[in-house]
Amino acid sequence: MIMRNNSGQSKDSVDESRRSFLKGAMISLFSVALGGISLERFFVPTTRNVPVTSYDGKYPTAILVDPDDNPITASEIPYATPSSSSYPILVFNYPLQDEPNILIRLRNVNIPKAIHIKNSSGGIDSITAYSGICQHLGCTVPLLDYHPGNSIPFEAQLIGYNKSNWPTYGLIYCKCHGSQYNPIEGPHNLYNSGPAPSPANHSLPQVLFYHDTTTDYIYAIGMNPVNAVIRTHLWQPNGEVYGPEVVQENLSGGSALPYDDSLGNYKTVVVSSSNFKWSGRF
Ligand code: FES
């Protein structure tokens, strides 16, 4: 017997459509789960969330050295001014291997959380470093690079930058999709909201330095905790992780820096780009 409901539909046809709906929903859920699993497997290294045990849960203290293991002194790092039209790419890994950071020294500007040293004209220079991993989708140096005040990359000109609106000390600019970071702002360096649309747009994590004023040596001692985690180490897809979890995440899923017995510290080698040598060093 065919039963009819209030709308005149037969019960059999209602059950059939309900069955089809449930079947469709199950398939969709299964597909989403399967897609999630395969995406997770694609993006996440197997070593993820395995802390580098030699660091003992803390950021390592790593002295900055040149490729011959000679410590680098703060006063010899080349500096950029607002009229500079080029600056060498100076890169070192921290807090893990294969995690590049861009080393920058700017004349007569006070960058928060940077090393500040007196310069020859009586002003203050700031020495700082930012993660060389773009927080949009993870492009690295040299695609992400510092372009000083008198050097506007062609890609930035295409989106409307010119001499009148390029910031005085330039920008760290990512040629992948146009994300911009202002190097004079310290921890809060995301500029112009990205502009690449992404829920994961953040400022570049800033390296914290210790400057030994006796030797003039520079030590990396941590990453600024107000920043989100380094892009390749996100706990969550949108990367909103702060506080103690940042430390744990930043020290996970990679290799420790080399330890140098003669220096009594971890060390990280500063290298420069092949097309603009740091004269006197490399
Ligand atoms: S990865 Fe840098 S802008 Fe997209």
- Closest atom of ligand 1 to 177 CA is 3
Ligand 1 pocket, Cβ-based, cut-off 6 angstroms: 134, 136-139, 174, 176-179, 196
Closest-CA residue, ligand 1 atom 3, reads 177
> Ligand 1: distance of its center to the CA of 138 in Å?
6
Strands 265-269 vs 62-65: parallel, antiparallel or unpaired: parallel
How far CA 133 is from CA of 100, 116, 152, 172, in Å, comes to: 7, 24, 20, 11
**3-class DSSP state for residue 148?**
coil
Per residue in 209-246, pLDDT (tens digit) is 999 999 999 999 999 877 766 766 655 545 556 667 77
Interatomic CA distance for residues 42 and 144, integer angstroms: 24
pTM above 0.75? yes
Per residue in 108-132, pLDDT (tens digit) is 999 999 999 999 999 999 999 999 9
Closest-CA residue, ligand 1 atom 1, reads 137
Per-residue pLDDT at 59 exceeds 80: yes
pLDDT band at 38 (very low <50, low <70, confident <90, very high): very low
11-272 CATH fold: Rieske Iron-sulfur Protein (2.102.10)
Q: Domain locations in the chain? A: 11-272
Among 133, 176, 203, residue to substitute to test ligand 1 (most atoms within 8 Å of Cβ):
176
Return the percentage of the chain with pLDDT > 90, whole number. Answer: 52
Per-residue pLDDT at 169 exceeds 80: yes
